[in-house]
Amino acid sequence: MTDVESLTRWLRDYASVVHENAGLLTELDAAIGDADHGVNMDRGMTAVVAALEIRFDTPDALLKKAGMTLVSTVGGASGPLYGTFFLRFGTALAGVTSIGTEDLGKALRAGVEGIVARGKAVLGDKTMYDAWAPALEAYDAAAADGTGPAIAAAAEAAAKGRDSTIPLVARKGRASYLGERSAGHQDPGATSTALLLDSAARTLP
């Protein structure tokens, strides 16, 4: 069962992963965006870790706090997108303390629906959604085996989704102004999403 403890582990782990990969994320962003994704995500996740000093009784309180913190500290497009993800993810878990595989999958999907509502991206736009969409599908396909295998499958699919962004021409965000020149570059948002799910596979349930 996933609970406040394991979710807290996940957020802490992701913060250190983002810190280690801040340079990579910024470098990817410099090629097709505005060279601040790593710096912004690192600032946001550092603030999330600081917010974890308070003990949270329920998953939804924890995740909503993480979401609000990201919205307040990241800026750019990734702040509202990741912030909305955690807010909707948390809202979907209201009243649940011990999260089963199916509930976790539904809540992740609610979070991703929040990203889509906010960013209006579709598959193939060269955004973080290209990592999220296959991850949700893989999670559901493996859900019968339990949370561990499901989240591992999701992480693997997210990594493939991240790689699939390389040849794509961006249709959303600042990269879209590059047109054909955006092809050949890995999307920084899909990269930070693949890192988030990889971190989840190591820390959940």
Partner 1 sequence: MKKLINDPADVVSEALLGFEAAHGDRVRVDHANKVVYRKDAPRPGKVGLVSGGGSGHEPMHGGFVGLGMLDAACAGEVFTSPVPDQMMAATGEVDGGAGVLHIVKNYTGDVMNFEMAAELAADSGTEVVSVVTNDDVAVQDSLYTAGRRGVGVTVLLEKIAGAAAEQGRSLAEVADVARKVNDNGRSMGMALTSCTVPAAGKPTFDLAEDEMELGIGIHGEPGRQRLPLAPAKDVAALLVEPVLSDLPFRSGDAVVAFVNGMGGTPLIELYLMYHEVRQLLDRAGVSVARSLVGSYITSLEMAGCSVTLLKADDDLLRLWDAPVNTPGLRWGV
Nearer Cβ to partner 1 (78/147): 78
- Nearest distance from C-beta of residue 26 to partner 1, angstroms: 9
- Nearest distance from C-beta of residue 167 to partner 1, angstroms: 16
198, 152 contact by CB (below 8 A): no
Distance CA 103, CA 98 (A): 10
- Nearest distance from C-beta of residue 107 to partner 1, angstroms: 20
Distance CA 66, CA 5 (A): 14
Distance CA 28, CA 184 (A): 11
Structure tokens that stand for 14 in this block: 């992701």
103, 47 contact by CB (below 8 A): no
158, 194 contact by CB (below 8 A): yes
- Nearest distance from C-beta of residue 112 to partner 1, angstroms: 16
Nearer Cβ to partner 1 (111/205): 111
Cα Rg, the chain, nearest whole Å: 16
Site residues (vs partner 1, CB under 8 A): 30, 34-36, 39-40, 71-77, 79-81, 83-84, 118-119, 169, 171-174, 176-179, 181
Distance CA 34, CA 49 (A): 26
Nearer Cβ to partner 1 (76/205): 76
Nearer Cβ to partner 1 (34/103): 34
- Nearest distance from C-beta of residue 145 to partner 1, angstroms: 36
Nearer Cβ to partner 1 (44/205): 44
